[in-house]
Amino acid sequence: MSQLQKRLMIIIACLLAIVLAFDASLFYSVKVAPNRLKVDYQTLKNNKIPLTMDDVSIVYFTDLQYGAFENKDRTQKVFEQINELSPDILIFGGDLFDSDTKLTNANKELLTKYLASIDAPLGKFAVWGEKDLQDEQRRNAILNIYKEAQVEVLDNHSVLVYNQGVNHIRIIGLSMDANVKEAANGASDKEFNLLIAHQPDTLTNEELAQTSISYALAGHAHDTQVNFPILGPYKTIEGAKKLNRSLSKDLSFEYELSAGTGCTNIDMRYNAVPEIHYFLLKH
Protein backbone atom coordinates (compact mmCIF):
# COMPACT_ATOMS: atom_id res chain seq x y z
CA MET A 1 0.00 0.00 0.00
CA SER A 2 1.41 3.35 -1.02
CA GLN A 3 1.87 6.30 1.32
CA LEU A 4 -0.99 8.12 -0.45
CA GLN A 5 -3.31 5.17 0.02
CA LYS A 6 -2.45 4.99 3.73
CA ARG A 7 -3.24 8.68 4.18
CA LEU A 8 -6.49 8.26 2.27
CA MET A 9 -7.48 5.33 4.50
CA ILE A 10 -6.74 7.40 7.63
CA ILE A 11 -8.86 10.29 6.31
CA ILE A 12 -11.76 7.95 5.48
CA ALA A 13 -11.51 6.31 8.93
CA CYS A 14 -11.55 9.71 10.64
CA LEU A 15 -14.55 10.87 8.63
CA LEU A 16 -16.37 7.61 9.38
CA ALA A 17 -15.65 8.02 13.10
CA ILE A 18 -17.02 11.58 13.01
CA VAL A 19 -20.19 10.45 11.22
CA LEU A 20 -20.72 7.58 13.67
CA ALA A 21 -20.11 9.87 16.66
CA PHE A 22 -22.61 12.40 15.27
CA ASP A 23 -25.21 9.69 14.67
CA ALA A 24 -24.74 8.31 18.18
CA SER A 25 -24.97 11.78 19.68
CA LEU A 26 -28.12 12.56 17.70
CA PHE A 27 -29.71 9.27 18.74
CA TYR A 28 -28.92 9.95 22.39
CA SER A 29 -30.26 13.53 22.20
CA VAL A 30 -33.57 12.48 20.63
CA LYS A 31 -34.26 9.02 22.03
CA VAL A 32 -32.48 8.90 25.40
CA ALA A 33 -31.83 12.31 26.98
CA PRO A 34 -35.45 13.62 26.97
CA ASN A 35 -36.48 10.51 28.95
CA ARG A 36 -33.74 10.89 31.53
CA LEU A 37 -34.22 12.65 34.85
CA LYS A 38 -31.42 13.57 37.20
CA VAL A 39 -31.56 14.93 40.74
CA ASP A 40 -29.19 17.76 41.62
CA TYR A 41 -28.43 17.56 45.36
CA GLN A 42 -27.22 20.66 47.18
CA THR A 43 -26.85 21.82 50.77
CA LEU A 44 -27.74 25.45 51.44
CA LYS A 45 -25.69 26.65 54.42
CA ASN A 46 -26.49 30.03 55.88
CA ASN A 47 -26.43 31.44 59.41
CA LYS A 48 -29.79 33.07 58.69
CA ILE A 49 -31.40 29.65 58.46
CA PRO A 50 -32.83 29.05 61.97
CA LEU A 51 -31.86 25.92 63.85
CA THR A 52 -35.49 24.80 63.74
CA MET A 53 -35.19 24.66 59.93
CA ASP A 54 -32.02 22.54 60.04
CA ASP A 55 -32.29 19.51 57.73
CA VAL A 56 -35.51 20.79 56.17
CA SER A 57 -35.58 19.65 52.53
CA ILE A 58 -36.82 21.59 49.51
CA VAL A 59 -37.55 20.04 46.13
CA TYR A 60 -37.63 22.52 43.27
CA PHE A 61 -38.70 21.64 39.74
CA THR A 62 -39.86 23.76 36.86
CA ASP A 63 -41.12 23.79 33.27
CA LEU A 64 -43.04 20.54 33.30
CA GLN A 65 -44.62 21.54 29.95
CA TYR A 66 -47.16 18.72 30.03
CA GLY A 67 -48.32 17.97 26.50
CA ALA A 68 -47.16 16.25 23.34
CA PHE A 69 -43.59 15.70 24.55
CA GLU A 70 -43.99 15.57 28.33
CA ASN A 71 -46.50 12.74 28.22
CA LYS A 72 -48.05 10.62 30.97
CA ASP A 73 -45.05 8.31 31.27
CA ARG A 74 -42.50 11.12 31.67
CA THR A 75 -44.77 13.04 34.03
CA GLN A 76 -45.32 9.97 36.17
CA LYS A 77 -41.55 9.53 36.36
CA VAL A 78 -41.11 13.13 37.56
CA PHE A 79 -43.66 12.82 40.35
CA GLU A 80 -42.50 9.37 41.40
CA GLN A 81 -39.02 10.81 41.83
CA ILE A 82 -40.34 13.77 43.83
CA ASN A 83 -42.29 11.45 46.11
CA GLU A 84 -39.17 9.33 46.64
CA LEU A 85 -37.31 12.45 47.73
CA SER A 86 -40.11 13.14 50.26
CA PRO A 87 -39.58 16.92 50.49
CA ASP A 88 -40.66 19.07 53.41
CA ILE A 89 -41.27 21.93 50.96
CA LEU A 90 -42.20 21.66 47.28
CA ILE A 91 -41.63 24.54 44.84
CA PHE A 92 -42.71 24.58 41.19
CA GLY A 93 -41.18 27.25 38.98
CA GLY A 94 -43.92 27.70 36.36
CA ASP A 95 -45.17 26.46 32.96
CA LEU A 96 -47.31 23.52 33.98
CA PHE A 97 -48.59 22.85 30.44
CA ASP A 98 -46.95 23.40 27.07
CA SER A 99 -48.30 26.33 25.07
CA ASP A 100 -50.21 24.25 22.50
CA THR A 101 -51.60 21.70 24.95
CA LYS A 102 -55.38 21.59 25.06
CA LEU A 103 -56.53 21.56 28.67
CA THR A 104 -58.95 18.66 28.91
CA ASN A 105 -60.68 17.34 32.01
CA ALA A 106 -58.45 14.27 31.79
CA ASN A 107 -55.10 16.08 31.83
CA LYS A 108 -56.27 18.61 34.42
CA GLU A 109 -57.36 15.77 36.69
CA LEU A 110 -54.07 13.96 36.08
CA LEU A 111 -51.89 16.87 37.14
CA THR A 112 -54.15 17.64 40.08
CA LYS A 113 -53.73 14.04 41.22
CA TYR A 114 -49.93 14.14 40.87
CA LEU A 115 -49.52 17.47 42.66
CA ALA A 116 -51.91 16.41 45.42
CA SER A 117 -49.98 13.14 45.90
CA ILE A 118 -46.94 15.01 47.24
CA ASP A 119 -47.13 15.43 51.00
CA ALA A 120 -44.63 18.30 51.62
CA PRO A 121 -45.77 19.05 55.22
CA LEU A 122 -44.30 22.56 55.30
CA GLY A 123 -46.03 23.70 52.12
CA LYS A 124 -46.32 23.47 48.35
CA PHE A 125 -45.74 26.64 46.33
CA ALA A 126 -45.63 27.76 42.69
CA VAL A 127 -44.97 30.85 40.60
CA TRP A 128 -46.46 31.69 37.22
CA GLY A 129 -44.68 31.01 33.94
CA GLU A 130 -45.49 32.83 30.71
CA LYS A 131 -47.29 29.77 29.29
CA ASP A 132 -49.50 29.58 32.37
CA LEU A 133 -50.71 33.09 31.62
CA GLN A 134 -51.17 32.98 27.85
CA ASP A 135 -54.90 33.50 28.31
CA GLU A 136 -57.33 33.99 31.18
CA GLN A 137 -59.03 30.64 30.70
CA ARG A 138 -55.73 28.77 31.05
CA ARG A 139 -54.71 30.81 34.07
CA ASN A 140 -57.97 30.05 35.83
CA ALA A 141 -57.77 26.35 34.99
CA ILE A 142 -54.24 26.09 36.38
CA LEU A 143 -55.17 28.12 39.43
CA ASN A 144 -57.98 25.64 40.09
CA ILE A 145 -55.53 22.73 39.78
CA TYR A 146 -53.28 24.38 42.35
CA LYS A 147 -56.15 25.04 44.74
CA GLU A 148 -57.36 21.44 44.59
CA ALA A 149 -53.81 20.15 45.08
CA GLN A 150 -53.18 22.65 47.92
CA VAL A 151 -50.41 24.48 46.07
CA GLU A 152 -50.11 28.17 46.97
CA VAL A 153 -49.30 30.52 44.10
CA LEU A 154 -46.81 33.21 45.09
CA ASP A 155 -47.96 35.98 42.78
CA ASN A 156 -45.70 38.90 43.74
CA HIS A 157 -45.86 38.10 47.42
CA SER A 158 -44.01 36.10 50.04
CA VAL A 159 -44.83 33.49 52.64
CA LEU A 160 -43.18 32.62 55.94
CA VAL A 161 -42.39 28.95 56.48
CA TYR A 162 -42.02 27.58 60.00
CA ASN A 163 -40.96 24.21 61.36
CA GLN A 164 -42.09 23.66 64.93
CA GLY A 165 -40.71 26.95 66.17
CA VAL A 166 -41.11 30.71 66.16
CA ASN A 167 -38.34 31.26 63.59
CA HIS A 168 -38.83 30.95 59.87
CA ILE A 169 -37.51 31.30 56.35
CA ARG A 170 -39.24 33.49 53.78
CA ILE A 171 -40.08 32.34 50.26
CA ILE A 172 -40.60 35.22 47.83
CA GLY A 173 -42.40 34.59 44.55
CA LEU A 174 -42.17 36.97 41.61
CA SER A 175 -44.83 36.99 38.91
CA MET A 176 -44.12 37.52 35.21
CA ASP A 177 -44.74 41.25 35.72
CA ALA A 178 -42.32 41.29 38.64
CA ASN A 179 -43.09 43.74 41.41
CA VAL A 180 -40.11 43.40 43.74
CA LYS A 181 -41.32 45.98 46.26
CA GLU A 182 -44.68 44.26 46.63
CA ALA A 183 -43.29 40.72 46.63
CA ALA A 184 -40.53 41.39 49.16
CA ASN A 185 -42.63 43.57 51.44
CA GLY A 186 -41.57 42.88 55.03
CA ALA A 187 -38.39 41.01 54.08
CA SER A 188 -35.53 41.53 56.50
CA ASP A 189 -31.78 41.08 56.16
CA LYS A 190 -31.99 38.96 59.31
CA GLU A 191 -34.06 36.32 57.49
CA PHE A 192 -33.13 33.65 55.00
CA ASN A 193 -35.02 34.87 51.94
CA LEU A 194 -35.44 32.40 49.08
CA LEU A 195 -36.50 34.06 45.82
CA ILE A 196 -38.44 32.20 43.11
CA ALA A 197 -38.77 33.65 39.61
CA HIS A 198 -39.67 31.95 36.36
CA GLN A 199 -37.35 33.77 33.94
CA PRO A 200 -33.62 34.17 34.70
CA ASP A 201 -33.54 37.75 33.41
CA THR A 202 -35.85 38.70 36.27
CA LEU A 203 -32.96 38.05 38.66
CA THR A 204 -31.04 40.95 37.11
CA ASN A 205 -33.72 43.42 38.25
CA GLU A 206 -31.81 46.25 39.93
CA GLU A 207 -34.34 46.42 42.76
CA LEU A 208 -33.30 42.94 43.87
CA ALA A 209 -29.79 44.21 44.54
CA GLN A 210 -31.34 46.48 47.18
CA THR A 211 -33.33 43.60 48.66
CA SER A 212 -31.98 41.05 51.10
CA ILE A 213 -32.06 37.91 48.93
CA SER A 214 -30.20 34.89 50.26
CA TYR A 215 -30.67 32.56 47.30
CA ALA A 216 -32.69 32.54 44.08
CA LEU A 217 -34.15 29.94 41.72
CA ALA A 218 -35.27 30.31 38.10
CA GLY A 219 -35.88 28.12 35.06
CA HIS A 220 -37.70 28.91 31.81
CA ALA A 221 -34.87 28.41 29.29
CA HIS A 222 -34.51 24.59 29.66
CA ASP A 223 -30.81 25.35 29.11
CA THR A 224 -32.20 25.80 25.54
CA GLN A 225 -32.51 21.95 25.43
CA VAL A 226 -29.67 21.94 22.87
CA ASN A 227 -26.40 23.19 24.29
CA PHE A 228 -23.23 22.60 22.27
CA PRO A 229 -19.84 22.21 23.95
CA ILE A 230 -17.72 25.39 23.74
CA LEU A 231 -20.25 27.04 21.39
CA GLY A 232 -22.99 27.10 24.01
CA PRO A 233 -26.77 27.24 23.33
CA TYR A 234 -28.01 26.99 19.76
CA LYS A 235 -30.27 30.01 20.26
CA THR A 236 -31.14 32.69 22.79
CA ILE A 237 -34.43 32.54 24.66
CA GLU A 238 -36.54 35.59 25.44
CA GLY A 239 -36.42 36.06 29.19
CA ALA A 240 -33.01 34.40 29.43
CA LYS A 241 -30.85 36.70 27.29
CA LYS A 242 -29.15 38.57 30.13
CA LEU A 243 -28.66 35.55 32.36
CA ASN A 244 -28.45 31.87 31.45
CA ARG A 245 -26.21 28.88 32.05
CA SER A 246 -23.79 30.04 29.38
CA LEU A 247 -23.91 33.69 30.46
CA SER A 248 -23.55 34.05 34.22
CA LYS A 249 -23.47 37.29 36.18
CA ASP A 250 -22.19 38.33 39.57
CA LEU A 251 -25.36 39.23 41.43
CA SER A 252 -25.78 40.30 45.05
CA PHE A 253 -27.02 36.76 45.84
CA GLU A 254 -26.35 33.19 44.78
CA TYR A 255 -28.73 31.55 42.33
CA GLU A 256 -29.53 28.31 40.53
CA LEU A 257 -30.87 28.11 36.97
CA SER A 258 -32.69 24.88 36.19
CA ALA A 259 -32.88 23.03 32.89
CA GLY A 260 -36.42 22.03 33.85
CA THR A 261 -38.08 18.67 33.37
CA GLY A 262 -40.03 18.99 30.11
CA CYS A 263 -39.39 19.70 26.44
CA THR A 264 -41.00 22.35 24.27
CA ASN A 265 -40.86 23.10 20.53
CA ILE A 266 -38.62 20.08 19.92
CA ASP A 267 -38.41 16.72 21.70
CA MET A 268 -34.65 16.83 22.09
CA ARG A 269 -32.06 17.36 24.83
CA TYR A 270 -28.34 17.82 24.25
CA ASN A 271 -26.11 18.69 27.23
CA ALA A 272 -29.29 19.75 29.03
CA VAL A 273 -30.62 16.72 30.88
CA PRO A 274 -34.04 17.16 32.56
CA GLU A 275 -33.53 17.78 36.26
CA ILE A 276 -35.07 18.15 39.70
CA HIS A 277 -33.29 20.03 42.47
CA TYR A 278 -33.06 18.85 46.07
CA PHE A 279 -31.88 21.35 48.68
CA LEU A 280 -31.10 20.59 52.30
CA LEU A 281 -31.13 23.59 54.62
CA LYS A 282 -28.36 23.97 57.20
CA HIS A 283 -27.84 26.63 59.83
Q: For residue range 26-73, list pLDDT tens digits in order.
A: 555 666 668 889 999 999 999 999 999 999 999 999 999 999 899 999
Neighbours of 248 (CB within 10 A): 11
Amino acid making up residue 220: H
Q: What is the pLDDT of residues 166-209, one digit of tens each?
A: 899 999 999 999 999 999 999 999 999 999 999 999 999 999 99
Find, among 202, 196, 201, 205, the residue nearest to 157 by Cα: 196
**Predicted confidence (pLDDT) at residue 88 exceeds the cutoff of 90:** yes
Cβ-Cβ contacts under 8 Å for 108 (sequence gap 6 or more): 141, 144, 145
pLDDT of 11 above 90: no
pLDDT (0 to 100) of residue 232: 72
Query: pLDDT tens digits for 97-117?
Result: 999 999 999 999 999 999 999
Determine the pLDDT at residue 174. Answer: 98
d(CA 109, CA 141): 11
Residue 230 has what pLDDT?
Answer: 67
Contact at 8 Å (CB) between 44 and 53? no
DSSP string for 135-156: SHHHHHHHHHHHHHTT-EE-SS
pLDDT at residue 5 greater than cutoff 70: no
Q: What is the mean pLDDT of the chain?
A: 90
- Top-confidence residue, 266 or 185: 185
Name the DSSP letter for residue 241: S
* 9 has a pLDDT exceeding 80: no
pLDDT of 110-161, one tens digit each?
A: 999 999 999 999 999 999 999 999 999 999 999 999 999 999 999 999 999 9
- Give the mean model confidence (pLDDT) for residues 85-92: 98
Percent of the chain with pLDDT over 70: 88
E strand segments, the chain: 38-45, 57-61, 89-92, 124-126, 152-153, 157-162, 168-173, 193-196, 215-218, 227-228, 232-233, 254-257, 275-282
